[in-house]
Structure 1
Amino acid sequence: MRGKSMFMAVVTAGAVASQPALAQTAAPAATGEQAQGLEEIIVTAQKRDQNMQSVPVSVTALTADALAKQRIGAFTDLTRAAASLTITQQTNATSSSINLRGIGTYAFSISVEPSVAVIVDDMPVVQQAQAFSNLSDLARIEVLKGPQGTLFGKAASAGVVNIVTQDPTDHFTGRASVTAATDSDYRVEAGLSGPVGDSVGYRVSGFYHSYAGNMRNLTDGSLLNDEESYGGRVKVKFQPSDGFSYTINGSYALLRQAGTGLTIRSITPGSTPIIQNVAGVPLSGQLGGITPGAGNYATRVDTPGSTISKTSTISGRGVLDLGSASLISVTSFQDWRYNFRADVDGTAADVNAVLTNGAVHGGIVQSGPYHSTSFTQELRLASQGRGRLKYLLGAFYADSNTDRSFQRGPVALLSAWDGQAGSQSAAAFAQLEYAVPTGTTFTGGLRFNHEHISAAYTNTLSNATPATCVAGTAACRGTHNDDVVTWKGSISQQLHRGVMAYASVATGYKGWAYDVSSGFTPARANGTTGPVKAEHSTAYELGIKSRFLDNRVQLNVTGFWTDYNNFQGQSAVVVNNAIQLVLNNVGRVRTKGIEGEFSAKPTNWLRFDASAAYTEAGIRSFMGAQAYSGQLASSASCTTAAASGLCSFQDRSGGRLPNSPRFKFNIGATGEVPLGQSGAKGTFTLNYQHQSSVNFDLLGNPLTVQGAYGVLNGSVGLETGNITLSLFANNLFNTHFASNLSDSFSSMGGTATNPAHVINQFLSRDSQRYAGIKLGYKF
């Protein structure tokens, strides 16, 4: 419970607090009849407040009430509500990926932008790993699908996850909740909000989370994949007049893990895995007490991985009412520090002792800190009123820098380096909407972006040379400038009251990038392999949004088709007659499909919600792709064979993108039943999520496939007065599933005659059944 006492003292001193329940940015219904139906959800998908049903964008919006009822407390929980969203998890969050419609980020470099931008209160996070934290005191979350580059910039080539926290209230209020689960997971959330005089409002919130872990390290008996995190947010809103307000928003969050790891799902029968190809160190000697399989939560490691992540942010948002328009200024600064340690060989074997005749003991370990900072400034002029013409004009500037150090060893697989990546961008954007009397609205948007990127790399190994970037090698530093225009056009038609159809075309952009990772050479700086070219996309959408039956039923359906050119990914190239795994433009990608979202409130006490997505996310062209681990030269897709009998390069054209289920759906029911005349009510929720099989390997390894599975969650509760009590159960049928699979063939001595495929898996907390209780209080 490190830091718990200090943090809880601060929260207690602030008073009590909050996980908001009904502060959901939902406009009040216009009539009593509508008041019994579905609420109106206001979103900022087009950087202005709009009814979600009138926005010609495919967006999933989760209000504070929906987030609470579905128990979405961590970023990874969002996959339960957004059918087009998947998350590929690793023990190291910097290698995890957020994917929308099958598109994610498949690269290691600190210079590569995410395909899915994460925005918190108008502030884009620098590194996607920052998103993998607790979600607390939220007003809503919007998942915008497809390229959003015109309004949200160059790091939104596949979509945006827009997170909006609660604002200060004009009356004194507070909430507090405590959650405990059978898998030793404990969570406390607290907050307070209210006015100070007539012109100042405040909001203070905080959380503490502790989780014991779900994997047993049989070497010392400890649990791995644990978590301890805590943080807080303070918002102060100044409103000296009706026409001007300024909100200062500061937050801090810390996440700490004492140990991380993977478990073994399978080992090829008849093979003899040899750890790190070191004779005399067979994997079989490390399997005592371990039974490989989908339900294997045991491992043996001698250096448990660890993680610490700290995020500090400060932002200011000013709004000036000019009468016919609003002038909005958002200034932000963020500082993210991350450090990790990982056991590379994934065992407790004394590999170093064998390699050094006992002079050095232990296994192969890698570690290293990250430090990212970012300053952003955005200025927007947005029209007001109900006129036929609406406009949004804006300018944006960002200055981001990331430093990383990396070490691996101490005997084998030696690597040590320091890297830096910087990006300065300036953009101007505009969007116009014009509505004609026939109920037709035309929308057009344009963005011009100028970017300057830089990279530097220093190899700190003792045998480094200018060819491998020894300290002071000017050729291992590079800069690049780029200008790009992205645009979007749409037409929407009001077909009937509550029914709107739309069609849109949009372009997206993901900037040039340096491959700042192990093996950096002058060629990656400004030579033959880097920086890699920008990724461009063109997206087409047809959609319909509808509400009917007295506002009790909502159905939104979207068809989409997006082409990506110069898709950025990690693959192999031949450099100086040797194969290197580097970042490059792997080819063309297409994602197409159909999405649907359904909500119904047939009675005042019962609500149904469902979403589904059918997605074909395929690789149109990927010639010269690296062979997957252990791919035989005789395989159909192999184009270049090695003398060893293994494949060196393959043609991946026609393959599917990783972790992109062809079909995924969520369906749930929520009920609130009055109990007598006291005002008390009973509550229940039931949610089922299913997805088809996925392959986690961009290169198509048939052994890294997670089969189709479904998960059922449920809860029952009681609300009386200011107190709420609920009992919940997750994964009722105890369905084990992996959030990532990888093959250790090359590091386990695999050959064409010794197919030592050792498949490792990341098992999330939700891959096991657990139950819990939550107690809440509000005033």
Structure 2
Amino acid sequence: MRRPPKCMASARSCWPAAKCSASHTDELISPYPRGPRPPCQACPRDRGPAPFMPTKGDIMRITGTRTPFALAAALLAAGAHAQQTAQQAAQQTDTGKLESVVVTANKRAQNLQDVPQSITVLGDAVLQRSNVRELDDLPALSPALTLSYGTQPGNFSINMRGVGTFSLGIGVEADVAVIVDDIPLGMQANAFKDLADVHRIEVLKGPQSTLFGKSAIAGALNITTKPIGGPVKTTASMLATNDDEWRVAVGVSGAVSDTFRMRIAASKTDYDGTLNNLTTGGKLNGSKGDNVNAKFEWQPLENLKFTLSPHYNRTEKFCCTTAFTSMTPGGIYRNAPQLPQAVVLRDIRIAPGNRDVRNDYPTGGKFHDWGTGLKIDYGFDGGYTLSSITSYSKYHMDDYQDNDATDIDILQYLTLPNGAPTNMHGGLYQYGVFNVKSTTQELRLTSPDKGALRYVAGLWYGKNDLNRELAKVPLIFNYGTNYGADAWNVNKAAYGQGSWDFRPDTSLIVGARWNLEDTGYRFRRYSVPPQAVVQTEFYTNDDSNHSKTWKLGLEHRLNRDAMVYGTVSTGHKGVAYDLTSGFTAALAAKPAVPPETARSYELGWKQSLWDNRAMFSVALFRTNFRNFQQSAGFFDYDGIFRTALNSLGGLRTQGLEVEGSVRVTPRLQLNGSLAYTEATITEFRNGPCYNVVNAAGTGSAPGPGCYQSPEFNNTNVQDLAGKTLPNAPKVKVNLGGQYDLPLATLPFNAFIAGTTRYQSRTQFSLNQDPMTIQGAYSITNLSFGATDKGGRWKASFFINNLFDKRYAAGLNNSIANGTWSPRAPNTPLAVNTTEWLPPRDYHRYVGARVDLTF
């Protein structure tokens, strides 16, 4: 018979001074010092050693036979033992200590306080208490995160420490990788859906290229879905709000036999939106989704396990329409006298906070994705594990946009550039598709946690095939385009990272990755409907490059409760192509946009206090980027929003991050986090300009700092060195807490929880337009409810944005762009318009949630 398991704490969490409730001898997972130990010492960050649960192999050895009767008897005995252990555990009083947090940031399970890296962990309790539904909810919980929005999920951006790639084309990869159960998403747009059945989200800050590849140059979101529980049980959850959001979810999970376990979860969500569409009487900027996730585990041998995880998602996001907040009086739509502001925007009261629009064509995207992952784990003698992780997924999105922002039949009043009537009816709109097919394969060897040397090493293969088709119709003035683009990338890599305890209290961290990437594209341009569609242009190219990234660090354990560290790491992202409507023969003749690189420095301190009743972490960081790939958006003279891909010479993000938790009493727990981030451009001489009204008030002029540059084809540019990156607030603060109130005479207990977050002023535009700055604001949420003492149900009520603070998730400013500014023969006038994008919690709303277990 094998010995009972060792203390199930991760590395560096067992210490000689602690006491153990079980008496046995084993090797503790601890480097301070490592090796055989006297009778097991419990881990101060845990609640004691895990109970001994015999495996099938143990039962065979116990009974000395493989007969069904002996096996059944042993299983019954094990079950009785487990029940008795569970009852004893339930009777134990709360020690008042913080629970250990386990993360897999280094592709192995570790205690958060033992990982030399700045990480924010959003565990299951936080996700449930905050009613997290989708990625849009995460920046409210992690100060290092912000999101930048486009017109549909294909051009959204996740920003880490102020850095993220905003691009409308499929030829540019993201800077922040999203990994779900060890499988990276082929396109970041696939992350903007319901976070269904999620158990934990690790926000990994700074370059993660060594372990997670080239799309993690600024950071990564490492997402873990819910694990499979013990006995089979069913859970259900229902949520509803007073502003027409509802959710329902159900899951079945547990062990079907001693070798097979499964989890199946399904959910459905719906939210109408934040804007009122006066044309249809409906809402805009909402979303709805259907999700099915499953996980099947089969363990035919004690050291062999198969995990199959299929998934399916269908989502529709009616996003992201903006509403006018101001407009210069006297505007005429596209210089047509029949289309004054009062007609085109009838019944819309344009003012700050306006949420009324008129759209006769939808805006947003409807997408679905499906796929599966297969993980095979094989354990060797000595504690080594060899893992194979295989995945396949397909993603398809239909996107659409109302580009004239009105329900008027405008085309009948417009003229062609030669002054002739269009002889058309309708409006301006666009439609298109995104297709992504991803295949990955990883082989990973993980060393045991004990010993002076601990490491993970692997081989990686990934292939992404992306397709984009887009049509803007009809062809009139400078509006109208029709193109198709294919992009592909194939990556092969070898990586490794490990820690070596060259002293009992000090470790050397070394990691490296070698990556070979093959990329390419095909670009097709077609004639624009309503003309007969024929191909008019075709371009293709391919590239191949290899890169090396590495990580080097030192970790020193001051005592059993404190650790300091310092790391240097590099990041890499491959070449990019500007595969958008602005792609031309001139761009096709140029080399690809150069690879993006980064080097990061981080110093940190992690501390536990008061017998593990409090813990905090502090990190100082600086990351320098070269050839940063960024699309800059602008409104051209005809009022069409266009983008161009730029390679910024350099940028830097630096700052301070602090996180902490404390159990003031067994009933009261507080937590907080702060991020001070300076995300600054260090080199960008041909930056985009913003416009101001000219002196005569009849048109626009380049803003201060802009000049006409012969070096850049006599275009208006500005040197943006020293300016802030878009959507990168300097200060973000999160504070929260929960108080549990035991009710001795009732079958349930009560609780109350609250959070407050603060964000300093934010610039939304790369061109530094002073009209696109969101001022500082704070948002407070409150919740309270009751929990059944037997764990069968929980009911909660919440008030979000308690003080009804209005703020924007995006701002636009446009001056004399051709959409509203009259020109001759009408009286010339420079019309200035501003717009805002209201977020989900732009106002106060209330809701209720019920969770059931049976």
Q: Compute the TM-score of the two structures, normalised by the length of structure 2.
A: 0.83
Say if 1:634 and 1:762 are closer, same or farther in 2 by CA, change over 3 A.
closer
Shift of 1:304: 2.8
Matched residue SS, 1:550: coil
1:377 aligns with 2:441: yes
Mark the CA change 1:95 to 1:757 in structure 2 (over 3 Å): closer, same or farther. farther
Indicate whether 1:689 and 2:757 are aligned: yes
The 5 Å alignment of 1:338-349 reads 338-349=397-408
How far did 1:655 drift? 0.9
For the pair 1:386 / 2:453, whether they are aligned, the reply is: no
The answer to whether residue 267 in structure 2 is matched with residue 207 in structure 1 is yes
1:290 deviates by 2.3
Aligned CA distance change for structure 1 residues 652 and 260 (closer, same or farther; 3 Å): closer
Shift of 1:291: 2.9
Conservation of the 8 A alpha-carbon contact between 1:598 and 1:609:
yes
Does residue 622 (structure 1) correspond to residue 684 (structure 2)? The answer is: yes
What amino acid sits opposite 1:557 in the alignment? V
Please name the residue that 2:608 is paired with: 547
Local SS of the residue matching 2:770: coil
Q: Tell me how far apart the structure 2 counterparts of residues 511 and 479 of structure 1 sit (CA, whole Å).
A: 12
Q: Is residue 596–residue 627 contact of structure 2 (8 Å, CA) maintained in 1?
A: yes
Distance 2:645 2:325 in 1: 29
For residues 449-528 of structure 1, the aligned pairs below 5 Å read 449-461=515-527, 471=535, 476-525=539-588, 527-528=589-590
Per-residue deviation, residues 19-42 of structure 1 (Å, max 9, x unmatched) = xxxxxxx98423889942111111
Deviation at 1:622, TM superposition (A): 0.8
- What SS does the corresponding residue of 1:251 show, helix, strand or coil? strand
* 1:776 maps onto 2:839 in alignment: no
CA distance in 1, matches of 2:534, 2:515: 34
> Which residue identity does 1:427 align to in structure 2?
A
Aligned equivalent of 2:47: 29
Alpha carbons 1:276, 1:345 under 8 Å: kept: no
For this pair of structures, how many residues does the alignment match?
Answer: 738
User: Which residue number in structure 1 is paired with residue 8 of structure 2?
Assistant: none
> 1:607 aligned to 669, 672, 696, which one?
669
TM-fit CA distance, 1:409 = 1.4
Amino acid at match of 1:482: N
Q: 2:310 aligns with which of 237, 250, 255?
A: 250
C-alpha change, 1:717 and 1:618, in structure 2 (3 Å) is same
Matching residue of 1:444: 510
Hey, what does 1:354 align to over in structure 2?
413
Who is 1:16 aligned against? none
Alignment partners' CA distance in 1, 2:794 and 2:396: 37
For 1:720-735, what aligned pairs fall within 5 Å after superposition?
Answer: 720=788, 721=790, 722-735=792-805
Residue of 761, 765, 778 corresponding to 2:840:
765
Structure with bigger strand share is 1
Contact 1:486-1:508 at 8 Å conserved across structures: yes
> Does the 8 Å CA contact 1:119/1:161 hold for their aligned counterparts?
yes
User: Structure 1, unaligned stretches of length 5 or more?
Assistant: 1-25, 574-578
Q: Does structure 2 retain, via aligned residues, the 8 Å contact 1:399–1:424?
A: yes
Distance 1:284 1:535, change over 3 A: farther
Q: Could you tell me how far apart the structure 2 residues matched to 1:462 and 1:368 are?
A: 13
The answer to whether the Cα contact below 8 Å between 1:442 and 1:490 also exists between their aligned partners in 2 is yes
Residue 800 of structure 2 aligns to which amino acid in structure 1?
N
Mapped to 2, the partners of 1:214 and 1:230 lie a distance apart of 21
Q: Any idea what SS the aligned residue of 2:841 has? A: helix
Q: Counterparts in 2 of 1:40-51, with a 5 A limit? A: 40-51=100-111
Alpha-carbon distance in structure 2 between the residues aligned to 1:119 and 1:554: 27
1:491-546: CA deviation from partner (whole Å, max 9, x where unpaired): 11111221111111111111101111102223333x22x41000111110011111
Residue in structure 1 matched with residue 57 of structure 2 by the alignment: none
What does 1:116-515 align with in structure 2 at a 5 Å threshold? 116-257=176-317, 261-267=321-327, 269=328, 272-276=330-334, 280-324=338-382, 325-355=384-414, 357=421, 359-412=423-476, 413-461=479-527, 471=535, 476-515=539-578
Aligned AA for 2:387?
A: I
Instruction: Kindly indicate whether the alpha-carbon contact (under 8 Å) linking 1:552 and 1:600 is maintained by their aligned counterparts in 2.
Output: yes
Asked if the contact 2:519/2:544 (under 8 Å) is kept, the reply is yes
Does the CA contact (< 8 Å) of 1:748 and 1:758 recur in 2? Answer: no
- How far apart, CA to CA, are the structure 1 residues paired with 2:372 and 2:731? 40
Deviations 1:83-105 (A, max 9, x none): 11111223411222111110011
Q: Deviation per CA, 1:231-274: give whole Å up to 9, x if none.
A: 1111110101110101000000111246752211223x46x444
Question: 1:256, 1:127 → 2: CA distance?
Answer: 17
Q: How far off its partner does 1:323 sit?
A: 2.4
Q: Which residue of 2 aligns with 1:532?
A: 593
Which whole-Å CA distance do the structure 1 matches of 2:747 and 2:528 have between them? 74
1:748 to 800, 805, 819: 819
CA deviation after TM superposition for structure 1 residue 307, in Å: 2.3
Shift of 1:571: 4.4
Instruction: Give the Cα–Cα distance (whole angstroms) in 2 for the partners of residues 240 and 381 of structure 1.
Output: 21
- How far apart are 1:716 and its partner, in Å? 0.6
Residue 279 to residue 623, structure 1, CA distance change in 2 (3 Å): farther
C-alpha separation in 1, matches of 2:753 and 2:351: 32
C-alpha distance in structure 2 between counterparts of 1:157 and 1:293, whole Å: 41
Higher deviation after alignment, 282-291 or 627-636:
627-636
Q: Which amino acid aligns with 1:425?
A: N
Residue 330 of structure 1 aligns to which amino acid in structure 2? I
Distance 2:45 2:278 in 1: 54
**What is the rounded CA distance, in whole Å, between the counterparts of 1:423 and 1:410 in structure 2?**
33
SS at match of 2:125: helix
CA–CA separation in structure 1 for the residues paired with 2:678 and 2:518? 35
Higher mean displacement: 739-748 or 191-200: 739-748
| Structure 1 range deviating more: 212-221 or 349-358 | 349-358
Mark the CA change 1:580 to 1:300 in structure 2 (over 3 Å): closer, same or farther. Answer: closer
Q: Measure how far apart 1:280 and its partner are.
A: 4.7
User: How much has 1:705 moved relative to structure 2?
Assistant: 0.9
Return the index of the structure with the highest Cα Rg: 2
SS in 1 for 2:412: helix
Q: Is the 8 A contact 2:691 2:701 kept in 1?
A: no
Is 1:633–1:641's contact at 8 Å kept on the other side of the alignment? no
1:58-69 alignment runs, 5 A limit: 58-69=118-129
Query: Please, which moves more after superposition, 583-592 or 156-165?
Result: 583-592
> Structure 2 counterpart of 1:243, which letter?
N
Cα distance in 2 for residues equivalent to 1:610 and 1:259: 32
In structure 1, C-alpha distance between the alignment counterparts of 2:847 and 2:171, rounded to whole Å: 41
Alpha-carbon separation, structure 2, partners of 1:634 and 1:513: 29
Measure how far apart 1:635 and its partner are: 4.0
Structure 1 residues 549 and 695, CA gap change in structure 2 (3 angstroms) = same
One-letter amino acid of the counterpart of residue 760, structure 2? S
- Is 1:191–1:203's contact at 8 Å kept on the other side of the alignment? yes
Is the Cα–Cα contact under 8 Å of residues 309 and 373 in structure 2 kept in the other structure? yes
| Identical columns (%) | 33
In 1, the alpha carbon distance for the partners of 2:209 and 2:702 equals: 43
Instruction: Please give the alpha-carbon distance, in whole angstroms, between the structure 1 residues aligned to 2:314 and 2:760.
Output: 35
Change in CA separation of 1:153 and 1:312 when aligned onto 2, cut-off 3 Å:
same
Equivalents in 2 of 1:462, 1:754: separation in Å? 32
The CA deviation at 1:633 is: 5.1
Residues 253-305 of structure 1: per-residue CA shift (max 9 Å, x gap): 111246752211223x46x4443455653444333332334421111122232
Of 651, 657, 677 in structure 2, the residue corresponding to residue 595 of structure 1 is 657
Instruction: Quickly say closer, same or farther: Cα 1:537–1:704, change in 2 above 3 A.
Output: same
Contact 1:508–1:536 under 8 Å retained in 2: yes
- Offset, 1:728: 0.7
Contact 1:535 1:567 in 2 (8 A): yes
Change (3 A) 1:748 1:273: farther
